[in-house]
Amino acid sequence: MEVVDHAFIFEEKNNNLNITELSPDIYLKAGDYGRAQLTSAPLVEEYGGQVKCVPFVSGRSSSSIIEKIIHNYLPQLASSEPDILPDAAPAAFLDRDGTLCKHVQYLSDPEQFELLPGVIPGLLRLKEAGFRLVIITNQPGIGFGYFTKEDFYRVNLEMLRQLSDAGILIDKIYFSPYTKAEQRPCRKPGTLLGERAIAELNIVRESSIMFGDSEADIQFAKNLGCTSCLISEEYSGEQLPDIQAKTLEDGVNLFLQK
């Protein structure tokens, strides 16, 4: 990347402070943004700079290269080291927002995190039944710039603290930071993160289940080849879940009874 003079990480939810300090002649943003969405655009244009939104080219990104490497080679690497893999076990794949915790639009503040009723007894019963607990969540707010990965981690830390106090340990958390427009295979209903979990944690696919609150979660389960459970009282999607329940606890009980 010879054309890049400098790269840096910033903590702002927007880039306004850096723009004010640096006054770039041209300010580029990815194609999932429009000029109307950019609070920084008036700042740039005020001093005579230009704002450009660069369209995506399908399959051309560093992220897609990384995902391709993971998809093609991770199962092979994991299977070549069987001595470090845990014993085979089924998994409960879990959506986070709206399934484990109260849905807050673009949740980024740990103080707003609130476990839903039935989550703790449901997870305890799954653990007792020998299921690994694996969270797989879409977080497009990161891709849109509404919050940072660090905000996401802070919310997760509060979640893990509350669950740990109840005697529940999460085996692993996987997340996709991309928007729907970016069409990444790691974003549900794509199964890339599920396949990673199966390889890394030695999960028995056919005995596993996905708990979620959206049609994308149901389709993820169907694509992955496991049972689907919708945690919702109302649902009007085209994809029908194998199980539907009001709370996670109810869904776990129905699943284990089967």
pLDDT tens string 147-171: 999 999 999 999 999 999 999 999 9
Predicted local distance difference test score (pLDDT) of residue 78: 54
Give tens-digit pLDDT for 229-247: 999 988 877 889 999 999 9
pTM for the predicted model, two decimal places: 0.70
Which residues on neighbouring strands pair with residue 228, listed in sequence order? 210
Predicted local distance difference test score (pLDDT) of residue 64: 76
Predicted local distance difference test score (pLDDT) of residue 72: 78
Give the separation between CA 133 and CA 139, rounded to whole angstroms: 19
Give the separation between CA 100 and CA 168, rounded to whole angstroms: 13
Domains of the chain: 25-54 (no CATH), 85-257 (3.40.50.1000)
Give the separation between CA 97 and CA 114, rounded to whole angstroms: 10
Do residues 227 and 208 lie in contact, with contact meaning Cβ atoms separated by under 8 Å?
yes
Of the listed ranges 24-33, 167-176, 211-220, the one predicted with least confidence: 24-33
- List residues with catalytic annotation: 95, 97
User: Where does the pLDDT of residue 213 fall: very low under 50, low under 70, confident under 90, or very high at 90 and above?
Assistant: very high
Find the helix packing angle between 119-128 and 248-257, rounded to 10°: 30
Give the separation between CA 158 and CA 150, rounded to whole angstroms: 13
Of 32 and 188, the one with more pLDDT: 188
Predicted local distance difference test score (pLDDT) of residue 71: 76
Give the separation between CA 25 and CA 125, rounded to whole angstroms: 58
